[in-house]
């Protein structure tokens, strides 16, 4: 629970005397210590209590079994189904009051504020793609968060290519959805190593206007570098697995090779990252020239993720040498 804030603590110092009763001398020692504890507690505001990495763990909504049955795979139970549905979705509330949200394969970055009287967390998108999202905080402990989002706000975050995915239609048409979060203990030495930081996700923040050739190049390189980071974090021990659930990529990364999905297969998912479909096609053409035309040599370390890093480094190197023309 948020720590109450104290407006004032008055400390009265009594003149010292060895003839004072023991109780009085103890009181003089305890009062300053109490004051220190109070001032320390004052630093723990409701806003700072929310700051942290929150993983989407489960959700609740009216008639939840209808939703759960709609997302279950073959031979899955309810717990396995919801775990797979929310895998790697996170809300990162940083201490500098910026946030990173990944939900339904959509990435949003901006500023966050918490209003403790109304218990409302507000997320303001920097790119202005989305109106401010207000989230009602129902419960908060050091390791758990329970919060409600309007179904209409959730619906805005669902990209067009996900509209027909299992359970999405039912989810989008709810009045509200209650999400349960757990703290994510993963620590990164720097935001450059954090796959949820803005600098590693600029590839999936669509631009407001048409981009030049160099900008399309940077966007495409940032995407490949993002994939590389996921592999590198396993090598470094920051994480223990790689999941592609929270995003879509044209790349097919296997243990000994990197290839490319056909554009017709990945078109809808890839296009949402660019200004328009024409610029998305140019980004895909860059990948095709780097991966298919130039080829990628297999890694030589004999370790799966280290080899993946080596191959993706080669793709990035090829990309930076490719020339494109924006019409």
Are residue 121 and residue 207 in the same domain, yes or no? no
Last residue of a domain, one of 183, 206, 234: 183
Could you give the 3-state DSSP secondary structure of residue 109? strand
79: in domain: yes
Each residue of 168-206: pLDDT tens digit?
A: 888 888 999 999 999 999 888 889 999 999 999 999 999
Each residue of 104-158: pLDDT tens digit?
A: 999 999 999 999 999 999 999 999 999 999 999 999 999 999 999 999 999 999 9
270: in domain: yes
Last residue of a domain, one of 183, 204, 234: 183
State residue 20's pLDDT score.
52
Are residue 102 and residue 164 in the same domain, yes or no? yes
Q: Tell me the residue range of the domain where 296 lies.
A: 191-319
* pLDDT tier at 36, thresholds 50, 70, 90: very low
Under 8 Å between Cβ of 305 and 242:
yes
* Total structural domains within the chain: 3
Last residue of a domain, one of 131, 160, 183: 183
Q: Which helix (H) or strand (E) holds 49?
A: helix 46-50
Percent of the chain's residues with pLDDT above 90: 68
61: in domain: yes
């Amino acid at each position: 629970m948020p720590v109450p804030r104290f407006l004032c603590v008055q400390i009265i110092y009594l003149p010292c005397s060895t003839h004072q009763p023991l109780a009085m001398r103890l009181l003089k020692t305890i009062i300053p210590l109490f004051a220190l504890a109070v001032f320390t507690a004052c630093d723990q505001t409701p806003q700072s209590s929310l700051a942290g990495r929150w993983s989407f763990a489960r959700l609740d909504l009216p008639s939840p079994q209808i939703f759960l049955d709609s997302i279950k795979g073959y031979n899955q139970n309810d717990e396995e189904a919801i775990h797979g549905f929310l895998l790697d979705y996170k809300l990162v509330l940083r201490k500098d009051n910026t946030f990173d949200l990944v939900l339904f394969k959509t990435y949003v970055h901006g500023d966050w504020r918490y209003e403790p009287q109304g218990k409302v967390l507000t997320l303001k998108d920097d790119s202005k793609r989305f109106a401010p999202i207000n989230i009602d905080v129902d419960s908060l402990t050091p390791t758990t968060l329970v919060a409600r989002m309007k179904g209409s706000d959730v619906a805005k975050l669902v990209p067009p290519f996900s509209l027909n995915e299992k359970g999405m239609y039912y989810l989008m048409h709810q009045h509200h959805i209650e999400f349960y979060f757990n703290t994510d203990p993963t620590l990164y030495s720097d935001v450059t190593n954090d796959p949820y930081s803005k600098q590693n996700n600029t590839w999936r923040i669509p631009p407001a206007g048409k981009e030049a050739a160099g900008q399309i190049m940077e966007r495409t390189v940032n995407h490949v570098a993002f994939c590389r980071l996921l592999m590198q974090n396993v090598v470094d021990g920051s994480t223990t697995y790689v999941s592609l659930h929270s995003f879509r990529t044209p790349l097919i990364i296997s243990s000994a090779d990197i290839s490319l999905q056909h554009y017709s297969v990945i078109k809808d998912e890839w296009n949402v990252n660019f200004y328009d479909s024409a610029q998305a096609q140019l980004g895909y053409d860059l990948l095709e020239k780097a991966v298919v035309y130039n080829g990628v040599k297999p890694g030589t370390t004999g370790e799966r993720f280290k080899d993946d890093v080596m191959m993706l480094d080669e793709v990035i190197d090829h990309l930076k040498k490719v020339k494109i023309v924006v019409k």
